[in-house]
Structure 1
Amino acid sequence: MNPLFISIEGPEGAGKSTILEALLPILSVKRSVVATREPGGVRIAEDIRGIILDPKNTVLDGKTEILLFAAARRVHLLEKVLPALAEGKVVIADRFIDSSVAYQGFAGGVDVEQVKWLNDFATDSLKPDLTIFFDITPEEGLKRVMKNNEREKNRLDLAKLDYHKKVYEGYQALLKTDSDRIVAIDASKSPEEVLDQIINVLYTRFPGEFL
């Protein structure tokens, strides 16, 4: 079996974590699947995640964020992603490089080309084989976040709507420039319908890999 690296992206409240939890048992019937997240996935990266998302850390600007994300991404890649791919596994990451472009670039005000360069430096230019974008408007996503009492509200959740609109615009720009890699699914649908969309994308893009 071929190693596969798949990332899932989307605005806050898109439902990525919920769908990933439902998706794993389906894909694991035939393949060995490693699910992970960014920032995080390994101890050092999880420590950095705590710094980035802590609501008390209001002084972090876009450049500080992108440097922290890049450091977390590098150690995560070396300790978890690359070893799994070397073993021929499927790695599914909840967020990867596109998040940095959308959040710290388009919304955070850091030059997008610099964000891309730094990510290429941190990842040795590794790109996912497929990125699934959970397409949902910022308004609907934030409405879900505020309704979910079980979710701890992080620093990015509490940003103003205008910030999240810029994030969404960033993702839309990425969809246009990297349409071969990034596929959008309608995340406003029910969890069951979203899951069906993703399974259809995976089975179409990688025939025979999961069936």
Structure 2
Amino acid sequence: MSSDRQPANASGLFIAFEGGDGAGKSTQASAVEHRLRAMGRTVLRTREPGGTPVGEKLRALVLEHGHGQIDARTEALIFSASRAAHVEQVIRPALERGDVVLCDRFIDSSVAYQGAGRGLGLTEVRELNLWATERLLPDLTVLLDVAPQQGRDRRTAGDAAEDRLESEPDDFHSRIRGAFLELAGAAPEKYLVLDASAGREELTAAIMDRVQELIA
């Protein structure tokens, strides 16, 4: 059945960047993209929620303030709907072409934010998203581990405004951090866990060492 569908082409490489808000995921995804392009690889860098026209509309709905009350289950379903479109329209076709896909957030973010942060259950949210993505999973997940207060300090530097999820209290973000580490601990061969407080170049070098093992 289609719900059991697996990644279509092993020649592509799928890397997800995960971690709490302010961990530096976008910075590292951009740096890795530039390194890979310099090596002659075709790279697609994308983000969640978003990545498609419908995904960007859903992103605004779920992250921006002022859209009214969104309960936890509705929030989880919005994220999974955006991810379903993203995989079908963008990620899977790129992998089938043999591209390297670098994605800022994927299923683990829903498991951590809605499963742990909102208390919906890690298993329940993971199964919802495995169905939405036809069980597509990254070849490698780079987890940038950041303490809640450090993440808040980074994302509010220069008086930057926090979005709807970023503005949740530190205990919410502590639950998220714990869930990310739990997921990585359960499948260490699929994760690279790094201290987000390390220097940018140091982090990029560590990520590239692991990526080169996968593309060698």
What TM-score range do you get, normalising by the shorter chain? over 0.9
> What runs of 5+ residues in structure 2 fail to find an aligned partner?
1-9
Q: Is the 8 A contact 1:61 1:108 kept in 2?
A: no
* Shift in alpha-carbon separation, 1:58–1:109, aligned structure 2, 3 A: farther
What is the aligned-residue RMSD (CA, Å)? 1.4
> What runs of 5+ residues in structure 1 fail to find an aligned partner?
none
* Shift in alpha-carbon separation, 1:41–1:207, aligned structure 2, 3 A: closer
The yes-or-no answer on 1:203 pairing with 2:212 is yes
Shift of the alpha carbon at 1:207? 4.7
Instruction: Provide the C-alpha distance between the structure 2 equivalents of 1:148 and 1:114, rounded to a whole number of angstroms.
Output: 38
Runs of 4+ in 1 over 6 A off after TM superposition: none
The yes-or-no answer on 1:189 pairing with 2:205 is no
2:187 maps to which of 178, 186, 190 = 178
* Shift in alpha-carbon separation, 1:62–1:39, aligned structure 2, 3 A: same
Scaled by the length of structure 2, the TM-score of the pair is: 0.91
- Count of aligned residue pairs for this structure pair: 206
What are the superposed Cα offsets for residues 117-155 of structure 1, whole Å, 9 maximum, x if unpaired? 101110111111110000111111111111144x54211
Scaled by the length of structure 1, the TM-score of the pair is: 0.93
Letter in 2 for 1:21: S
Instruction: Provide the C-alpha distance between the structure 1 equivalents of 2:173 and 2:49, rounded to a whole number of angstroms.
Output: 18
The yes-or-no answer on 1:73 pairing with 2:73 is no
Q: Is the 8 A contact 1:17 1:94 kept in 2?
A: yes
Letter in 2 for 1:168: R
Instruction: Provide the C-alpha distance between the structure 2 equivalents of 1:113 and 1:148, rounded to a whole number of angstroms.
Output: 38
> Is 140-149 or 107-116 further displaced after alignment?
140-149
In structure 2, the partner of 1:22 is: 31
Instruction: Provide the C-alpha distance between the structure 2 equivalents of 1:81 and 1:56, rounded to a whole number of angstroms.
Output: 30
User: Could you say what secondary structure the match of 2:156 adopts?
Assistant: helix
The alignment-based identity, stated in percent, is 37
